Amino acid sequence: MTSAPSTPRIALVTGSTNGLGHAVARRLMADGTTVILHGPTPASVDAARERLGLAGLDLTRLETEVADFTRLSDVAALADRVAARHPVLDVLVNNAAVAPTDTRTLTEDDHELAHQVNYLAPYLLTRLLWDPLGAARPGRVVNASSALHRTANLNWGDLDRVRGYARIGAYAQSKLALTMFTRAAAVAAGGRILAVSVHPGILSTGMLSLYARVGQPVADGADVVARLCRPETTVRNGAYYDGESEAPVAPLAADDKAIARLWKATAKVVGLDRQPASV
């Protein structure tokens, strides 16, 4: 007797209309995963969907979502829609990010642009999808970090960088905070969720100017991220990877007191003062 086909895995990949996120979405779809493709505008999402179709991928394994991460209300609404359709979510790839501008820019929520899009938004999205991710037992959260997180520090009284703003410093801080959150999420989930952060390499994307003039092909970074999404890939919960290898983190990202302090401060900012039910 033939066994019934298994339910396809579901992965939400943020910032997947171009660059690394789009390449990751393509890899996961090729693996048979149903991908929720996310972008900031309907036009960007439609164009990305068309490119995947032209590449010969099965669009019945594709869902699309629009949410502008410069608005935290959009992030919350995205989480609500995804959770309503998918009480079990296998993978969340927090890839959406911006390169900060030369001058300090504020979002509609009055936060520095990179701090919100690169850190507050993925924090909020992950927390709001906690139950669907935990239902996968374990779901995976893969956070696109950066080796630049090791150059950053946190000014606890000025996380929105009102004083001493610098473009690369703002980006590095956002990736340090995301790396710290990765470890916090791994601990808080108590094994129900596996969370890792990764530097996928210096790639030829819109972020290249923050690193160098020449980058690796985006496909190389997508291979790294997609590998961490696969259930057969063994990972250490809460760890940071540089490419395929586990790597050291910045001192603050290994400081339990600092990690707990950032979790609590961020929860207050985004209106999630309560800890997840599993803690």
Tell the CATH topology of 10-270.
Rossmann fold (3.40.50)
- Out of 119, 123, 171, 240, the active site residue is 171
Domain-wise residue ranges, the chain: 10-270
pLDDT of residue 136: 85
Predicted confidence at residue 208, as pLDDT, reads 59
* Entry pTM: 0.94
In SS3 terms, the chain reads as CCCCCCCCCEEEECCCCCHHHHHHHHHHHHCCCEEEEEECCHHHHHHHHHHHHHCCCCHHHEEEEECCCCCHHHHHHHHHHHHHHCCCCCEEEECCCCCCCCCCCECCCCCEHHHHHHHHHHHHHHHHCHHHHHHCCCEEEEEECCHHHHHCCCCCCCCCCCCCCCHHHHHHHHHHHHHHHHHHHHHHHCCCEEEEEEECCCECCCCHHHCCCCCECHHHHHHHHHHHHCCCCCCCCCCEEECCEECCCCHHHHCHHHHHHHHHHHHHHHCCCCCCCCC
Length of the chain: 279
Q: 211 catalytic, yes or no?
A: no
Residue type at 276?
P
pLDDT at 207: 74
- Please list the pLDDT of the chain residue by residue as tens digits (279 residues): 444 446 789 999 999 999 999 999 999 999 999 999 999 999 999 999 999 999 999 999 999 999 999 999 999 999 999 999 999 999 999 999 999 989 999 999 999 999 999 999 999 999 999 999 999 889 999 999 999 999 999 999 999 999 989 999 999 999 999 999 999 999 999 899 999 999 998 877 877 577 767 678 889 999 999 999 999 999 999 999 999 999 999 999 999 999 999 999 999 999 997 655 443
pLDDT for res 214? 66
